[in-house]
Amino acid sequence: MSETAKLELEGKVYELPVIQGTENEKAIDISKLRDTTGYVTLDSGYKNTGATKSKITFLDGEKGILHYRGYSIEQLAEKATFLEVAYLLIYGELPTQTQLDAFRNSITKHTLVHEDMKQFFEAYPAKAHPMGVLASMVCSMATFYPESLDPNRSAEAKDLTIHRLIAKLPTLAAWSYKNAIRHPFMYPKNDFDYCKNFLYMMFGMPTEDFKVDPVVVEALNKLLILHADHEQNCSTSTVRIVGSSNANLYATISAGISALWGPLHGGANQEVIEMLEKIHNDGGDVDKWVAKAKDKEDPFRLMGFGHRVYKNFDPRAKIIKKACDDILEKLGVNDPMLDIAKKLEKVALEDEYFKARNLYPNVDFYSGIIYKALGIPTEMFTVMFALGRLPGWVAQWKEMTENKEPIGRPRQIYTGATSREYVPIEKR
Ligand code: ACO
C-alpha cells in the first residue's frame, strides 16, 4: 500500500507510511518519527498504539467480531475442543487428527509436577490467593527446567517448554485450591481429557470415585476457548514486553498471570460475584447500586460492565450468556445472587448512562456466574481465566520470538522538576 500520512511540524511536512492489515485496519507507521522529527507520540494506556503486527487474533470492537487465526469465536466455541484451539493459536492451523493426537499425548505425558514443588505449596498460608500461588509456581518452573532459560535454544526445546507449561498449569491451579482448603493433592489422571482432568484434580477425593456431569465438562471447555486469546490486552502486552527481554517462558507467563490478577482485567470475574454478594447483603436494591456506579464522586463501578475495545457488544459475552442460561437450567441452580445479576443486567442495559457510554456486560460478568454455578470458588475465578488464556499468551510470545521483535521500551514525556541543586537535610 503506497498511501502516506502527512504530518506538519514547525512548518515542515513529513510523510509517514500508512500500513494496512489483512482485515483493512490502517495504521500510521511512526517507528522513525523520533529520528526524523525529534518528536515522540503520547498515548497513555496505549489506546491508539499498535505495538506489533500479529497473525493470531483479529477483533473488531465496533462490530463485535473475534477471530482466532481467521476462525470465528462462535464456530470454535461451538465445535472445537480447548486443546484443538490451543494448537490452532500456537501453531497457526487447525491440527489434523494425527497432529492433535501427538499434541494431546505430549500434554498428557507432562501433567505431573516435580514432587519437590509440593513443598512450596505446603509453605503457603491457607489464605494465600491462588493467583499469587500460581504466578510464583509458574515462575519456579524455570528453576526445575534450566534448559528453558534460553528461550531461543531450538524449536524442539521451545515446544517442550510450551507443552510442559500447558500440561502442568491445570495441576498447579488445582493444587493451589486443594492447598487452600488443606485437602490432599489429587495427581492427574491421564485417561481423562484436559478439562475433565482439571475438574478431577479440583473436586476429586482419594476416597471416592470421581463423577462429573458432562454438561459441566462441556461448559468448562467452552469457557476456556472463549478466553484463549484476546490480542494485545494488558496481560498479553505484559507477556510480549517481558518476553522481549529474552526472559524464559515461565518467567514471562508468570508476569502475564500477575497482570491478569488485577480487578480491571481478569480479576473482574471475582469482583463480579463479590459485588453481587455485597448488593445481596445490602438488601438487594439494584437501583441504589446502579446510581452509585453513575455517581462520579463514588469510586464504585459495576464490575463486569464495559470493555476497552468492545463498544457495542462483546461476542464472547453473547455466547457465554447463552451457555450461562443453559447451564443454570440444566443444573437446576437456584441462587439469589443470580437473580440480582439478571436484574442488574436489565437495569443497566436500559439506563441512559450505560447506553450513552456503550457499557454492556462483558465476558467476566457471565463467566463469574457460570463458575459459581459449577461450584468453583470465587478466588479461583481468575485462575480459570489464566488457564484459558495460556495458549494465547504462548502463541503471542512464540510469534514475538520468531519475528525477532526488539526489546519493548516505550518513551515518556517528562513533567517533573527541572534541574536543581541538592539541598542538605538540615536545610529542607
Ligand atoms: N461502571 C460505571 N461506569 C463505568 C464503567 C463501569 N463498569 N466502566 C466505564 N465507566 C464509565 C467511566 O466512568 C467513564 O465515564 P465518563 O466518560 O463519564 O468519564 C466511561 O464509562 C468510559 O470509561 P473508561 O474507564 O474511560 O473506559 P476504558 O475503556 O478505559 O475502561 C474498563 C474499560 C477498564 C473495562 C472499564 O469499563 C471498567 O473498569 N469496567 C469494570 C471492570 C471490568 O469489568 N473489567 C473487565 C474487563 S473485560 C476483561 O478484562 C476480560
Cα–ligand 1 centroid distance for 275 (angstroms): 15
Whose CA is closest to atom 28 on ligand 1?
Answer: 308
Hey, what long-range contacts does 22-27 have (CB within 8 A, 24 or more apart)? 22/58, 23/58, 23/60
pLDDT of residue 368: 85
pLDDT of residue 239: 98
Residue 302 CB partners (closer than 8 Å, separation 6+): 275, 289, 290, 293, 344, 348, 354, 359
pLDDT of residue 1: 55
Cα–ligand 1 centroid distance for 357 (angstroms): 9
Cα–ligand 1 centroid distance for 367 (angstroms): 18
Instruction: Please say if 364 is a catalytic residue.
Output: yes
Whose CA is closest to atom 37 on ligand 1?
Answer: 306
pLDDT of residue 363: 86
Asked if residue 268 has its Cβ within 6 Å of ligand 1, the reply is yes
Asked if residue 348 has its Cβ within 6 Å of ligand 1, the reply is no
Residue 170 CA to residue 30 CA, distance in Å, equals 41
Cα–ligand 1 centroid distance for 306 (angstroms): 5
- Ranges of residues in the chain with a pLDDT under 50 are none
Could you tell me the domains of the chain?
4-65 (2.20.28), 70-265+378-402 (1.10.580.10), 282-373 (1.10.230.10)
Residue 387 CB partners (closer than 8 Å, separation 6+): 169, 170, 173, 198, 224
pLDDT of residue 152: 87
DSSP state of 311: S
Question: Which of ligand 1's atoms lies nearest the C-alpha of 301?
Answer: 1
Judging by beta carbons within 10 Å of its beta carbon (0-12, 13-18, 19+), is residue 420 exposed, middle or buried? Answer: exposed
Asked if residue 202 has its Cβ within 6 Å of ligand 1, the reply is no
Asked if residue 355 has its Cβ within 6 Å of ligand 1, the reply is no
What pTM did the predictor assign? 0.90
